[in-house]
Structure 1
Protein backbone atom coordinates (compact mmCIF):
# COMPACT_ATOMS: atom_id res chain seq x y z
CA UNK A 1 0.00 0.00 0.00
CA UNK A 2 1.13 3.57 -0.66
CA UNK A 3 -0.16 7.07 -0.11
CA UNK A 4 -1.07 9.24 -3.08
CA UNK A 5 -1.39 12.97 -2.42
CA UNK A 6 -3.27 14.66 -5.26
CA UNK A 7 -3.06 18.42 -4.90
CA UNK A 8 -2.58 21.66 -6.78
CA UNK A 9 0.21 24.02 -5.79
CA UNK A 10 -2.14 26.95 -6.49
CA UNK A 11 -4.93 25.54 -4.30
CA UNK A 12 -5.33 27.24 -0.92
CA UNK A 13 -6.87 24.16 0.65
CA UNK A 14 -3.86 22.13 -0.51
CA UNK A 15 -1.64 24.70 1.21
CA UNK A 16 -3.77 24.31 4.34
CA UNK A 17 -3.30 20.54 4.23
CA UNK A 18 0.51 20.79 4.30
CA UNK A 19 0.89 20.27 8.06
CA UNK A 20 -1.42 17.24 7.99
CA UNK A 21 0.53 15.73 5.09
CA UNK A 22 3.82 16.35 6.88
CA UNK A 23 2.55 14.68 10.06
CA UNK A 24 1.05 11.67 8.27
CA UNK A 25 4.27 11.08 6.34
CA UNK A 26 6.31 11.39 9.55
CA UNK A 27 4.08 8.86 11.31
CA UNK A 28 4.26 6.35 8.44
CA UNK A 29 7.83 6.17 7.13
CA UNK A 30 7.05 2.67 5.91
CA UNK A 31 4.63 3.98 3.27
CA UNK A 32 5.75 5.24 -0.12
CA UNK A 33 4.25 8.64 -0.96
CA UNK A 34 3.35 9.63 -4.51
CA UNK A 35 2.57 13.31 -5.15
CA UNK A 36 0.40 14.16 -8.15
CA UNK A 37 -0.49 17.60 -9.51
CA UNK A 38 -4.20 17.92 -10.20
CA UNK A 39 -4.43 20.81 -12.65
CA UNK A 40 -6.90 23.17 -11.00
CA UNK A 41 -6.18 26.28 -13.07
CA UNK A 42 -5.72 25.15 -16.65
CA UNK A 43 -7.43 25.96 -19.93
CA UNK A 44 -10.29 28.41 -19.48
CA UNK A 45 -9.66 28.60 -15.72
CA UNK A 46 -6.24 30.16 -16.34
CA UNK A 47 -7.45 33.73 -15.80
CA UNK A 48 -6.48 36.76 -13.67
CA UNK A 49 -7.13 36.18 -9.97
CA UNK A 50 -9.64 39.05 -9.91
CA UNK A 51 -12.08 36.72 -11.65
CA UNK A 52 -12.09 34.54 -8.54
CA UNK A 53 -13.84 36.89 -6.17
CA UNK A 54 -13.83 34.41 -3.31
CA UNK A 55 -10.04 34.13 -2.88
CA UNK A 56 -9.52 36.32 0.20
CA UNK A 57 -12.60 35.00 2.01
CA UNK A 58 -11.62 31.41 1.26
CA UNK A 59 -8.08 32.00 2.48
CA UNK A 60 -9.37 33.43 5.76
CA UNK A 61 -11.45 30.28 6.27
CA UNK A 62 -8.50 28.03 5.39
CA UNK A 63 -6.29 29.87 7.86
CA UNK A 64 -8.94 29.61 10.58
CA UNK A 65 -9.44 25.87 10.08
CA UNK A 66 -5.85 24.79 9.48
CA UNK A 67 -3.59 27.51 10.86
CA UNK A 68 -1.97 27.92 7.44
CA UNK A 69 -0.16 31.23 6.92
CA UNK A 70 -0.78 33.62 4.04
CA UNK A 71 2.05 36.14 3.88
CA UNK A 72 2.13 39.86 3.19
CA UNK A 73 4.20 39.23 0.05
CA UNK A 74 1.44 36.96 -1.27
CA UNK A 75 -1.18 39.61 -0.51
CA UNK A 76 0.88 42.14 -2.47
CA UNK A 77 1.28 39.74 -5.39
CA UNK A 78 -2.46 39.31 -5.89
CA UNK A 79 -3.53 42.80 -4.70
CA UNK A 80 -4.31 44.32 -8.10
CA UNK A 81 -6.01 41.14 -9.35
CA UNK A 82 -3.87 40.74 -12.46
CA UNK A 83 -1.85 37.71 -11.32
CA UNK A 84 -2.63 34.52 -13.27
CA UNK A 85 -2.38 31.16 -11.49
CA UNK A 86 -1.17 28.64 -14.09
CA UNK A 87 -1.40 25.10 -12.75
CA UNK A 88 0.47 23.65 -15.71
CA UNK A 89 3.54 25.70 -14.79
CA UNK A 90 3.20 24.63 -11.16
CA UNK A 91 2.90 20.98 -12.22
CA UNK A 92 6.02 21.34 -14.38
CA UNK A 93 7.81 22.64 -11.30
CA UNK A 94 6.64 19.76 -9.14
CA UNK A 95 7.82 17.35 -11.84
CA UNK A 96 11.24 19.04 -11.86
CA UNK A 97 11.56 18.81 -8.07
CA UNK A 98 10.34 15.20 -8.13
CA UNK A 99 12.99 14.36 -10.72
CA UNK A 100 15.70 15.88 -8.53
CA UNK A 101 14.60 14.24 -5.27
CA UNK A 102 11.88 11.60 -5.80
CA UNK A 103 11.96 10.47 -2.17
CA UNK A 104 11.45 14.03 -0.84
CA UNK A 105 8.55 15.22 -2.98
CA UNK A 106 6.07 15.12 -0.07
CA UNK A 107 8.36 17.65 1.64
CA UNK A 108 9.03 19.73 -1.49
CA UNK A 109 5.39 20.18 -2.51
CA UNK A 110 4.51 22.10 0.70
CA UNK A 111 7.75 24.08 0.32
CA UNK A 112 6.61 25.16 -3.13
CA UNK A 113 3.26 26.23 -1.73
CA UNK A 114 4.99 28.29 0.94
CA UNK A 115 6.97 30.01 -1.82
CA UNK A 116 3.67 31.22 -3.29
CA UNK A 117 1.35 31.66 -0.32
CA UNK A 118 3.91 33.08 2.12
CA UNK A 119 6.76 34.49 0.03
CA UNK A 120 4.58 35.72 -2.84
CA UNK A 121 6.62 34.06 -5.58
CA UNK A 122 5.08 33.08 -8.92
CA UNK A 123 5.14 29.37 -9.69
CA UNK A 124 5.64 30.25 -13.35
CA UNK A 125 9.10 31.72 -12.72
CA UNK A 126 12.29 29.61 -12.89
CA UNK A 127 13.78 31.72 -10.08
CA UNK A 128 11.14 30.34 -7.70
CA UNK A 129 12.29 26.77 -8.32
CA UNK A 130 15.90 27.84 -7.90
CA UNK A 131 15.06 29.26 -4.47
CA UNK A 132 13.10 26.17 -3.36
CA UNK A 133 15.82 23.84 -4.64
CA UNK A 134 18.61 25.79 -2.93
CA UNK A 135 16.71 25.84 0.37
CA UNK A 136 16.30 22.06 0.14
CA UNK A 137 19.98 21.50 -0.68
CA UNK A 138 19.25 20.29 -4.22
CA UNK A 139 21.09 21.01 -7.47
CA UNK A 140 19.28 24.23 -8.34
CA UNK A 141 20.68 24.38 -11.89
CA UNK A 142 19.36 20.89 -12.58
CA UNK A 143 15.92 21.71 -11.17
CA UNK A 144 15.62 24.89 -13.24
CA UNK A 145 16.79 23.06 -16.37
CA UNK A 146 14.19 20.34 -15.78
CA UNK A 147 11.47 22.97 -15.27
CA UNK A 148 12.39 24.67 -18.54
CA UNK A 149 12.89 21.46 -20.53
CA UNK A 150 10.29 20.56 -23.19
CA UNK A 151 9.58 17.30 -21.36
CA UNK A 152 8.23 19.11 -18.31
CA UNK A 153 4.97 19.82 -20.12
CA UNK A 154 4.48 16.12 -20.82
CA UNK A 155 5.19 15.37 -17.15
CA UNK A 156 2.51 17.86 -16.11
CA UNK A 157 -0.01 16.33 -18.50
CA UNK A 158 0.83 12.87 -17.18
CA UNK A 159 0.05 14.08 -13.65
CA UNK A 160 -3.30 15.51 -14.76
CA UNK A 161 -4.20 12.19 -16.41
CA UNK A 162 -3.16 10.28 -13.28
CA UNK A 163 -5.38 12.52 -11.15
CA UNK A 164 -8.34 11.88 -13.45
CA UNK A 165 -7.70 8.13 -13.53
CA UNK A 166 -7.79 8.08 -9.73
CA UNK A 167 -11.20 9.76 -9.85
CA UNK A 168 -10.07 12.86 -7.96
CA UNK A 169 -12.46 15.80 -8.31
CA UNK A 170 -11.33 18.05 -5.43
CA UNK A 171 -7.96 19.14 -4.07
CA UNK A 172 -6.29 18.08 -1.96
CA UNK A 173 -7.25 14.42 -1.89
CA UNK A 174 -5.14 11.90 0.01
CA UNK A 175 -5.58 8.33 -1.09
CA UNK A 176 -4.43 4.92 0.07
CA UNK A 177 -3.70 2.82 -3.01
CA UNK A 178 -3.27 -0.92 -2.62
CA UNK A 179 -3.07 -2.60 -6.03
CA UNK A 180 -6.50 -1.87 -7.54
CA UNK A 181 -8.09 -0.73 -4.28
CA UNK A 182 -8.23 3.05 -3.89
CA UNK A 183 -9.49 4.51 -0.60
CA UNK A 184 -10.01 8.19 0.16
CA UNK A 185 -8.26 9.13 3.42
CA UNK A 186 -8.86 12.87 3.21
CA UNK A 187 -10.52 15.34 0.90
CA UNK A 188 -10.12 19.08 1.41
CA UNK A 189 -9.37 19.12 5.12
CA UNK A 190 -8.56 16.48 7.72
CA UNK A 191 -6.32 16.10 10.74
CA UNK A 192 -3.49 13.59 10.93
CA UNK A 193 -5.45 11.68 13.58
CA UNK A 194 -8.47 11.41 11.26
CA UNK A 195 -6.23 10.11 8.47
CA UNK A 196 -4.64 7.64 10.89
CA UNK A 197 -8.03 6.26 11.90
CA UNK A 198 -8.96 5.67 8.27
CA UNK A 199 -5.60 4.07 7.59
CA UNK A 200 -5.94 1.79 10.61
CA UNK A 201 -9.33 0.56 9.37
CA UNK A 202 -7.69 -0.60 6.14
CA UNK A 203 -5.12 -2.79 7.85
CA UNK A 204 -7.25 -4.01 10.75
Structure 2
Protein backbone atom coordinates (compact mmCIF):
# COMPACT_ATOMS: atom_id res chain seq x y z
CA UNK A 1 0.00 0.00 0.00
CA UNK A 2 1.11 3.55 -0.69
CA UNK A 3 -0.20 7.09 -0.82
CA UNK A 4 -0.42 9.29 -3.90
CA UNK A 5 -0.56 13.02 -3.26
CA UNK A 6 -1.75 15.03 -6.25
CA UNK A 7 -1.29 18.76 -5.76
CA UNK A 8 -0.24 21.90 -7.55
CA UNK A 9 2.49 24.11 -6.17
CA UNK A 10 0.42 27.17 -7.14
CA UNK A 11 -2.72 25.89 -5.40
CA UNK A 12 -3.55 27.71 -2.17
CA UNK A 13 -5.62 24.81 -0.85
CA UNK A 14 -2.63 22.52 -1.38
CA UNK A 15 -0.58 24.98 0.67
CA UNK A 16 -3.22 24.84 3.38
CA UNK A 17 -3.13 21.03 3.34
CA UNK A 18 0.63 20.91 4.02
CA UNK A 19 0.35 20.53 7.83
CA UNK A 20 -2.08 17.62 7.41
CA UNK A 21 0.19 15.96 4.87
CA UNK A 22 3.21 16.33 7.13
CA UNK A 23 1.33 14.91 10.11
CA UNK A 24 -0.08 11.95 8.22
CA UNK A 25 3.31 11.00 6.80
CA UNK A 26 4.91 11.42 10.24
CA UNK A 27 2.37 8.99 11.69
CA UNK A 28 3.13 6.44 8.96
CA UNK A 29 6.88 6.73 8.35
CA UNK A 30 7.07 3.41 6.52
CA UNK A 31 4.36 4.28 4.01
CA UNK A 32 5.62 5.33 0.59
CA UNK A 33 4.21 8.55 -0.85
CA UNK A 34 4.25 9.53 -4.51
CA UNK A 35 3.94 13.29 -5.02
CA UNK A 36 2.38 14.23 -8.35
CA UNK A 37 1.98 17.70 -9.88
CA UNK A 38 -1.55 18.16 -11.18
CA UNK A 39 -1.14 21.04 -13.63
CA UNK A 40 -3.66 23.59 -12.39
CA UNK A 41 -2.40 26.60 -14.35
CA UNK A 42 -1.44 25.37 -17.80
CA UNK A 43 -2.55 26.23 -21.32
CA UNK A 44 -5.26 28.88 -21.40
CA UNK A 45 -5.15 29.18 -17.59
CA UNK A 46 -1.57 30.47 -17.70
CA UNK A 47 -2.56 34.14 -17.45
CA UNK A 48 -1.86 37.09 -15.11
CA UNK A 49 -3.18 36.47 -11.62
CA UNK A 50 -5.56 39.42 -11.92
CA UNK A 51 -7.65 37.19 -14.21
CA UNK A 52 -8.49 35.10 -11.15
CA UNK A 53 -10.39 37.62 -9.10
CA UNK A 54 -11.11 35.09 -6.38
CA UNK A 55 -7.49 34.54 -5.32
CA UNK A 56 -7.27 37.03 -2.45
CA UNK A 57 -10.63 36.00 -1.03
CA UNK A 58 -9.75 32.33 -1.34
CA UNK A 59 -6.41 32.87 0.39
CA UNK A 60 -8.15 34.60 3.31
CA UNK A 61 -10.51 31.66 3.61
CA UNK A 62 -7.67 29.15 3.42
CA UNK A 63 -5.74 31.01 6.11
CA UNK A 64 -8.81 31.12 8.37
CA UNK A 65 -9.70 27.46 7.94
CA UNK A 66 -6.24 25.89 7.91
CA UNK A 67 -3.91 28.40 9.57
CA UNK A 68 -1.77 28.57 6.43
CA UNK A 69 0.62 31.50 6.22
CA UNK A 70 0.58 33.88 3.28
CA UNK A 71 3.65 36.06 3.68
CA UNK A 72 4.14 39.74 3.03
CA UNK A 73 6.64 38.94 0.25
CA UNK A 74 3.99 36.87 -1.49
CA UNK A 75 1.55 39.75 -1.18
CA UNK A 76 4.04 42.07 -2.82
CA UNK A 77 4.71 39.59 -5.63
CA UNK A 78 1.06 39.44 -6.69
CA UNK A 79 0.03 42.99 -5.69
CA UNK A 80 -0.19 44.50 -9.17
CA UNK A 81 -1.89 41.43 -10.65
CA UNK A 82 0.68 40.84 -13.39
CA UNK A 83 2.29 37.71 -11.94
CA UNK A 84 1.63 34.56 -13.98
CA UNK A 85 1.26 31.25 -12.17
CA UNK A 86 2.86 28.73 -14.52
CA UNK A 87 2.24 25.18 -13.36
CA UNK A 88 4.45 23.78 -16.13
CA UNK A 89 7.47 25.49 -14.58
CA UNK A 90 6.42 24.56 -11.04
CA UNK A 91 6.05 20.91 -12.02
CA UNK A 92 9.48 20.96 -13.62
CA UNK A 93 10.86 22.41 -10.41
CA UNK A 94 9.28 19.72 -8.28
CA UNK A 95 10.56 17.08 -10.69
CA UNK A 96 14.10 18.49 -10.42
CA UNK A 97 13.97 18.44 -6.62
CA UNK A 98 12.28 15.03 -6.49
CA UNK A 99 14.86 13.57 -8.86
CA UNK A 100 17.63 14.60 -6.46
CA UNK A 101 15.92 13.17 -3.36
CA UNK A 102 12.86 11.06 -4.27
CA UNK A 103 12.39 9.79 -0.73
CA UNK A 104 11.89 13.39 0.45
CA UNK A 105 9.19 14.32 -2.08
CA UNK A 106 6.64 15.37 0.56
CA UNK A 107 9.11 17.62 2.35
CA UNK A 108 10.22 19.17 -0.93
CA UNK A 109 6.67 19.82 -2.13
CA UNK A 110 5.92 21.61 1.15
CA UNK A 111 9.15 23.61 0.86
CA UNK A 112 8.26 24.63 -2.68
CA UNK A 113 4.90 26.00 -1.61
CA UNK A 114 6.53 27.83 1.29
CA UNK A 115 8.93 29.46 -1.18
CA UNK A 116 5.99 30.89 -3.12
CA UNK A 117 3.30 31.58 -0.54
CA UNK A 118 5.55 32.79 2.27
CA UNK A 119 8.78 33.96 0.65
CA UNK A 120 7.17 35.35 -2.49
CA UNK A 121 9.53 33.56 -4.89
CA UNK A 122 8.45 32.81 -8.44
CA UNK A 123 8.35 29.09 -9.23
CA UNK A 124 9.36 29.92 -12.80
CA UNK A 125 12.84 31.09 -11.76
CA UNK A 126 15.79 28.66 -11.53
CA UNK A 127 17.14 30.70 -8.61
CA UNK A 128 14.10 29.67 -6.56
CA UNK A 129 15.02 26.00 -6.86
CA UNK A 130 18.60 26.78 -5.95
CA UNK A 131 17.33 28.42 -2.75
CA UNK A 132 14.98 25.55 -1.95
CA UNK A 133 17.79 23.06 -2.55
CA UNK A 134 20.14 24.98 -0.29
CA UNK A 135 17.54 25.22 2.47
CA UNK A 136 16.82 21.50 2.33
CA UNK A 137 20.45 20.39 2.10
CA UNK A 138 20.37 19.20 -1.51
CA UNK A 139 22.95 19.72 -4.24
CA UNK A 140 21.87 23.16 -5.46
CA UNK A 141 23.90 22.95 -8.66
CA UNK A 142 22.40 19.57 -9.57
CA UNK A 143 18.85 20.80 -8.93
CA UNK A 144 19.36 23.99 -10.95
CA UNK A 145 20.79 22.07 -13.90
CA UNK A 146 18.00 19.48 -13.70
CA UNK A 147 15.34 22.21 -13.84
CA UNK A 148 16.37 23.01 -17.42
CA UNK A 149 16.83 19.46 -18.70
CA UNK A 150 14.46 17.78 -21.19
CA UNK A 151 14.12 14.76 -18.90
CA UNK A 152 12.70 17.00 -16.20
CA UNK A 153 10.16 18.51 -18.58
CA UNK A 154 9.14 14.98 -19.57
CA UNK A 155 8.74 14.06 -15.90
CA UNK A 156 6.46 17.07 -15.37
CA UNK A 157 4.33 16.09 -18.34
CA UNK A 158 4.18 12.52 -17.02
CA UNK A 159 2.88 13.90 -13.72
CA UNK A 160 0.05 15.73 -15.49
CA UNK A 161 -0.83 12.56 -17.42
CA UNK A 162 -0.78 10.48 -14.25
CA UNK A 163 -3.09 12.90 -12.45
CA UNK A 164 -5.51 12.65 -15.37
CA UNK A 165 -5.32 8.85 -15.38
CA UNK A 166 -6.14 8.84 -11.68
CA UNK A 167 -9.20 10.97 -12.42
CA UNK A 168 -8.00 13.79 -10.18
CA UNK A 169 -9.33 17.21 -11.18
CA UNK A 170 -9.32 18.96 -7.80
CA UNK A 171 -6.29 19.81 -5.72
CA UNK A 172 -5.08 18.67 -3.34
CA UNK A 173 -6.20 15.04 -3.51
CA UNK A 174 -4.67 12.34 -1.34
CA UNK A 175 -5.22 8.75 -2.44
CA UNK A 176 -4.49 5.39 -0.84
CA UNK A 177 -3.55 2.70 -3.34
CA UNK A 178 -3.13 -1.01 -2.77
CA UNK A 179 -2.72 -3.12 -5.87
CA UNK A 180 -5.75 -2.43 -8.02
CA UNK A 181 -7.66 -0.72 -5.21
CA UNK A 182 -7.68 3.02 -4.65
CA UNK A 183 -9.62 5.33 -2.38
CA UNK A 184 -9.72 9.08 -1.79
CA UNK A 185 -8.50 9.94 1.70
CA UNK A 186 -8.77 13.71 1.28
CA UNK A 187 -9.82 16.24 -1.31
CA UNK A 188 -9.32 19.91 -0.51
CA UNK A 189 -9.36 20.41 3.25
CA UNK A 190 -9.06 17.59 5.80
CA UNK A 191 -7.50 17.05 9.20
CA UNK A 192 -4.86 14.46 10.02
CA UNK A 193 -7.21 12.50 12.29
CA UNK A 194 -9.83 12.20 9.55
CA UNK A 195 -7.26 11.09 7.01
CA UNK A 196 -5.79 8.57 9.45
CA UNK A 197 -9.24 7.09 10.10
CA UNK A 198 -9.96 6.74 6.39
CA UNK A 199 -6.56 5.20 5.81
CA UNK A 200 -7.16 2.65 8.59
CA UNK A 201 -10.53 1.76 7.08
CA UNK A 202 -8.96 1.33 3.65
CA UNK A 203 -6.17 -0.85 5.04
CA UNK A 204 -8.64 -3.06 6.90
CA UNK A 205 -10.87 -3.63 3.87
CA UNK A 206 -10.16 -7.06 2.40
CA UNK A 207 -9.13 -7.20 -1.24
CA UNK A 208 -11.62 -8.82 -3.58
TM-score, L = length of structure 2: 0.97
Give how far 1:179 is off: 1.1
The Cα of 1:203 is off from its aligned counterpart by 2.1
* Pairing of 1:48-67 with structure 2 (within 5 A): 48-67=48-67
Report the counterpart of residue 89 of structure 2 in structure 1. Answer: 89
Partner Cα distance (1:123, 1:25) in 2: 25
Equivalent positions of 1:19-30 (< 5 A) are 19-30=19-30
Question: Which residue number in structure 2 is paired with residue 158 of structure 1?
Answer: 158
2:202 aligned residue? 202
What's 2:98 paired with? 98
Report how many aligned residue pairs link the two structures: 204
Task: Give, in whole Å, the separation in 2 of the partners of 1:88 and 1:152.
Answer: 11
Q: Hey, what's the Cα distance between the residues in 1 that align with 2:67 and 2:37? A: 23
Query: Matched residues in 1 for 2:202 and 2:175: separation?
Result: 12
Alignment partner, residue 117 of structure 1? 117
Which residue matches 1:32? 32
Return the alpha-carbon distance in structure 2 between the equivalents of residues 203 and 176 of structure 1: 9
| Unmatched tracts of structure 2, length 5 or more | none
For residues 168 and 51 of structure 2, the distance between their equivalents in structure 1, rounded to whole angstroms, comes to 24
1:185 aligns with 2:188: no
> What CA deviation, in whole Å up to 9, does each residue of 1:85-124 have, x standing for no partner?
0000000000000100000010010100000000000000
Instruction: Report what 1:138 is aligned to.
Output: 138
2:202 & 2:159 partners in 1: Cα distance? 26
The worse-fitting range, judged by mean Cα deviation, of 149-158 and 110-119 is 149-158
1-structure distance, mates of 2:10, 2:140: 22
SS in 2 for 1:185: strand
CA distance in 2, matches of 1:42, 1:203: 35
Runs of 4+ residues over 4 Å off in structure 1: none
Shift of 1:169: 1.1
Partners of 1:116 and 1:33 lie apart in 2 by 23
Secondary structure class of the residue paired with 1:17: helix
- Deviation per CA, 1:112-155: give whole Å up to 9, x if none: 00000000000000000000000000000000000011222111
Q: Distance in 1 between matches of 2:203 and 2:179?
A: 14
In 1, Cα distance between equivalents of 2:141 and 2:125: 14
RMSD over equivalenced CA pairs, Å:
0.5
